[in-house]
Structure formats: C-alpha cells, structure tokens
A and B are shown apart, each in its own frame.
Chain A
C-alpha cells in the first residue's frame, strides 16, 4: 500500500453534521455552566476543603486494617469481618435482584421485540403488545432505583425485600429495552430458513432468532449485574446494611482509613465481576 493512499483517513473531514454536533455540545456546556453558576476558580476547594481533602485522600494509600477510634465497645466485630458481611450483603442483594429483573426483562424484551410478529399475518395484536411492553420498560426505567427504594421504604420499611424489589423494577425495564433491541438486531436469515422448513412461529422465534441474540443478551446481563453491585452498595446510604451504609457511617465518624478499606472492597468486587464478565464475553465471541 502506498503511504499516500494510506494517509487518506476515511471520514477525516469535519462533516457539517459533526461540526454541528460539536457546536451544539459547546453551547450546551456554556448554558449548563451559566445555569449552575459553575466558577472554574471554585474547582480548587477552599482552605478548609483542601485540608479535609488532603486528610481524606492521604489515607488512600494507607487504608485502615483494623477499627479506628478509641473506646470501642469490646463486642464489636473486627473490621474485616464487618466488611466481609457488608460485601456479602451487597453481592446477595444484587444477585437476588437479578432473578426477578431477568424474568421481567425477558418478558418485556420478547414482547417488546418486533421480530416475533413482523412478516407474519397482519394483525393489531403484535404491534399493540410491542407498544405496551416498550411503554412498560420506559416507565420502569425512568424512575431511578433509589427512588423506587424511597417509595418501597414507605411500604416495606428497611427490609431486604424492599432493596431487592427496588433494584429489580428499573433493571427489568432496562433489560427489557435492550433485549428487545438485541432480538430485533439478530439476523433474520435462519428464522426464514426454519419457516421454509414448515416450523411454527414459536419454533422459529425460539430456535431461529433467539440463539443469535443470546450471547449479546448474556453479556449485557453480566454488565447489569456489575451495575446492580454498585446500586446495591449505594442503597446502604438509605439504611440497608450494604457497603454504602458503612462507608457513610465511617466517613461521618471521620474514620477515613475505614472508608478507604470499604471503598477498596467495593472496588475489588466490581473489578472482579468486570474481569469475569470480560472473560465470558471473550469466550462467547462477543
């Protein structure tokens, strides 16, 4: 390949549309800065903030390995045990929530796809089911899991079930939306071949269409599990006994070393799941 040819990078000219996007972004940023009164000088925290910041981030490399503070009651469990229990609750909330979330997501995803009725006999039923499922997905998704938690707290109180339901509702919506898109993007060729062989619509859908979407659906579900871990940790700020609860408690007691210990446990959990799902994705060829 002649180097001159190679130098012609495709799409290198700033096309009109792309330039417009960038200008729009810049304008939006300016508007946001004005609305929020974002002063770049304030990005440098004040002296007090600076002191606190130095104190707090200074402990990043020296996380506490045992409880901080004096005059601790003797029956308090050691820090590592507390963290392990909190980590387990974080994981178990996330894992437990994924079960109903997946069930709901599959239901909404199958219903929300157009592939199971497109190309069949014309009927109002297919489009109606699709529209209803997509609407339900959008509705569930548009309310943040913490807000679901606030609503559910009013009914269930601080119970593990409230946390699981709060996570499961918006996650079912998100999974449903993405599943529907993935099923619709799967190649339709195999489905057509099965229809030619005389297969029933349900056979065509389950064995001609779905298998091709399944690796991507698995990969996305694993990513949502990683998100569920983070969300479960944050639910701790609302009184559930996950990692977030101890992060906020230790921070308010000014035990910054403990905060970093809990943060590193959360980091290890998330990074571990991230590595695991990456390994699965590679083996699924995605």
Chain B
C-alpha cells in the first residue's frame, strides 16, 4: 500500500441520518490533511471510511485503486495493518505495560502464537523497535511502566507509538487533541506531523482547532453537515469560507429538523 485514497461521490447514511453526502475527495500518498468543521459534520465518518470501519451507502471508496467495498476479510485485515489509528480516547489497555500496548500494534501481521509471544516474552528486536519508537515520541523511559500510572500526555504518546509500531503507510487521527490543554495540543499535533513527514506517511487528522490546522497542514478539508465545502491550502481559507464553515444552520431548516 502506498497511502493513496479516492472517494467518489460517497454518501453514508445511518438509518435516517445522513453522515456524509456526495463527498468526492482525492488523497495523495504522503499528503498531510486536516479535516476541519463543527462537530457532527462527518469528520469521524470520513476517517472510518478510509480504514474500512464504515461502509459507503452509495459511491465508491478506494485505496491504491482497490475498491474497499469488495475486500475479503484477509485483505481488509492487511489494509488495516497498514493504517495506524489514533483515537481521541486513546483506547489503551490501561492495566498492561506500555511495551505490551505498543507491541499489540503488530497484531495485524502476526498469527495467534506470535501475538501470545509478543505479550508474554517479546523478542529482543521487537522490544528494541518499540523502544526506538517510544524514544522518538519522547517517552523511552516508560517502556515497562503500567499505562494507568502514566500522565494523560504520556498515555497519548503511547497510543501514537502503538500506531507507529504497525509500520503504517497511513496515519488516521480522530480529534487527537480535543481534550487536552492548548500547549500540549500544539506539541501533539507537531509531533504527529513531524513523524509523518519523516516517514513519508499519509496523515489525515480531524481537528477542532482551526489555528492548529492552519499552522501545521498544507491542505485543509472543511466539512459541514456531511458535505465538503472547502478544500485547499490554509491561505485560501479566507474570512468568507471560514464563516461558511462555522455558521449556524438557518433557523427555518433547524426547525424543520432536516
């Protein structure tokens, strides 16, 4: 996998709710994209589409030119192994050690016994790789600590390390800084964009904070009510499109409930 994605006229509906409507988007390899827009605009759904967690109701999602809808179980597993995901709520196994959480990132390429070995008595070279990644994200010393003894910021770095341990071609980050203080938010976004530049990973991150998105990303995609209303470099996001992005829905429409 090289990390190219294409969405062609994609609509996603959950029951009567429409999460994305007619989205067309091309993501090139090693590109860094920030998804911006108000909550409920469809950012999370778009990210879930990219690793096959959500299915398009209509339209076509493809990675490296292959349609994700037709993927067999094993191919889907291979795709997910190549895509690292960092969630807002981290989703770490709190009462295991950092090393175990990071090594769990390798499950996608391991059989059952390989993963048992990684959890119980990991190989030296695997531990060394995990340690190198932890050092890169700044918490090398925490290798054998229990996750629930770490601070929130350190835990976030463990989640990033787990995604990087997958040796992914793509990194998806869903609001990674939504619940952290501003200084740390900036550090985390800087870390993620730096790492992706170094390793030439495709990065797609949903962000609430427009300032951070403008500072760190060469391309912004603005979503509103499930539709793409902006796609371009930060400089092009002028006052007009900015207001469009965060404007309240017109009163009449919200009363209709549509």
A residues contacting B by CB (< 8 A) are 189-190, 192-200, 202-203, 206-208, 211-212, 214-215, 285
Q: How far is A214 from B91 in the complex, measured between Cα atoms in Å?
A: 17
Establish whether residues B148 and A285, one from each chain, have CB atoms under 8 Å apart when the complex forms. yes
**Contact among A192, A198, A202, A285 with B108 in the assembled complex (CB-CB below 8 Å):** A198
**CB atoms of B112 and A203 under 8 A apart:** yes
B residues contacting the other copy or chain, number (CB 8 A): 36
B62 within 8 Å of A (CB atoms): no
The 8 closest A-B pairs by CB, nearest first: A198-B108, A198-B81, A199-B107, A193-B91, A198-B80, A189-B91, A196-B85, A190-B93
Task: Verify A200–B91 contact, CB threshold 8 A.
Answer: no
| CA A196 to CA B48, docked complex, whole Å | 9
Given contacts A203-B115, A207-B100, 15 further A-B contacts (CB under 8 A): A189-B89, A193-B87, A193-B159, A194-B107, A195-B80, A196-B53, A197-B107, A197-B108, A198-B77, A198-B109, A198-B166, A202-B112, A203-B110, A207-B107, A207-B115
Q: Is the CB of B91 within 8 A of A192?
A: yes
| Alpha-carbon distance between A214 and B96 when the two chains are bound, in angstroms | 11
Within 8 Å CB of B93, what residues of A? Answer: 190, 207-208, 211-212
Cα distance, A196 to B96, chains bound together (Å): 19
Residues of A within 8 A of B110 (CB): 203
Contact of B104 among A192, A194, A202, A214 (CB under 8 A): A194
Q: How far is the CA of A198 from the CA of B89 in the complex (A)?
A: 19
Q: Which residues of A contact B78 (CB under 8 A)?
A: 198
Q: Decide: B77 and A200 in contact? CB cutoff 8 A.
A: yes
Residues of A within 8 A of B159 (CB): 193
Query: CA A265 – CA B3 in complex, angstroms?
Result: 69
Asked if B91 and A203 make an inter-chain contact with CB atoms under 8 angstroms apart, the answer reads no
Interface residues in chain B, defined as those with a beta carbon under 8 Å from any beta carbon in chain A: 51, 53, 77-85, 87, 89-96, 100, 104-105, 107-110, 112, 115-116, 119, 148, 159, 162-163, 166
Contacts of A206 in B (CB 8 A): 116
Task: Enumerate chain B residues within 8 angstroms of A200, measured Cβ to Cβ.
Answer: 77, 107, 112
Q: A198 to B76, alpha carbons, bound, how many Å? A: 8
Question: In the assembly, what is the distance between CA of A196 and CA of B163, in Å?
Answer: 10
Minimum distance in angstroms from B74 CB to a CB of chain A: 10
Q: Answer whether A197 and B81 are a contact pair too, CB < 8 Å, given A202-B112, A215-B95.
A: yes
Also in contact, A207 and B119, with CB within 8 A (given A196-B53, A212-B93, A285-B148): yes
Residues of chain A contacted by B95 (CB below 8 angstroms): 211-212, 214-215, 285
Whole-angstrom distance between the Cβ of A286 and the nearest chain B Cβ: 10
Q: Are B166 and A197 in contact (CB under 8 A)?
A: yes
Looking across the interface, which residue of chain A has its beta carbon closest to that of B172? A196
CA distance A49 to B77 in the complex (A): 74
Among A193, A194, A203, max chain B CB count under 10 A is at A193
Smallest Cβ distance from B201 to chain A, in angstroms? 15
Known: A202-B112, A203-B112, A285-B148. A197 touches B104 (CB 8 A): yes
Cα distance A59–B119 in the bound complex, in angstroms:
56
User: What are 5 A-B residue pairs whose CB atoms fall within 8 Å in the complex?
Assistant: A190-B91, A196-B80, A196-B83, A211-B95, A214-B95
List the A side residues contacting B51 at CB < 8 Å. 196
CA distance A189 to B101 in the complex (A): 13
The residues of A that contact B148 with a CB separation of less than 8 Å are 285
Kindly state the separation between the CA atoms of A194 and B93 in the bound complex, as whole angstroms: 10
- Chain A residues contacting B83 (CB-CB under 8 Å) are 196
Q: Which residue of B lies closest to A195 (CB)?
A: B80
Give the residue of A193, A202, A285 whose beta carbon is less than 8 angstroms from that of B85: A193
Closest B residue by C-beta to A121 = B73
Contacts A196-B51, A196-B53; is A203 near B107 (CB within 8 Å)? yes
Residue of A nearest to B159 (CB): A193
Of the listed residues B79, B91, B116, B166, the one surrounded by the most CB atoms of chain A closer than 10 A to its CB is B91
Most B Cβ at <10 Å: residue of A200, A206, A285: A200
Residue of A nearest to B163 (CB): A197
Within the complex, the shortest CB–CB distance from B125 to chain A, in Å, comes to 20
Residues of B within 8 Å of A192, CB to CB, are 91
Q: Which residues of B contact A211 (CB under 8 A)?
A: 93, 95-96
- In the complex, what residues of B have CB within 8 A of residue A212's CB? 93-95
State the CA gap A196–B178 with chains docked (Å): 20
Answer whether A197 and B84 are a contact pair too, CB < 8 Å, given A207-B104, A211-B96: yes
Q: How far is the CA of A240 from the CA of B109 in the complex (A)?
A: 55
Q: Which residue of B lies closest to A284 (CB)?
A: B95
Question: Who on chain B is nearest to A189 by CB?
Answer: B91
Given the complex, which residues of A lie within 8 Å of B84, measured CB to CB? Answer: 197
Q: Smallest distance from the beta carbon of A71 to chain B beta carbons, Å? A: 62
A197 touching B80, Cβ below 8 Å: yes
Name the residue of chain B whose CB is nearest to the CB of A286.
Answer: B95
* Chain A residue contacts of B108, Cβ below 8 A: 197-199
List the B side residues contacting A202 at CB < 8 Å.
112
The CA of A194 and the CA of B79, in the complex, are separated in Å by: 13
Enumerate chain A residues within 8 angstroms of B87, measured Cβ to Cβ.
189, 193
A197 x B119 contact (CB < 8 A): no
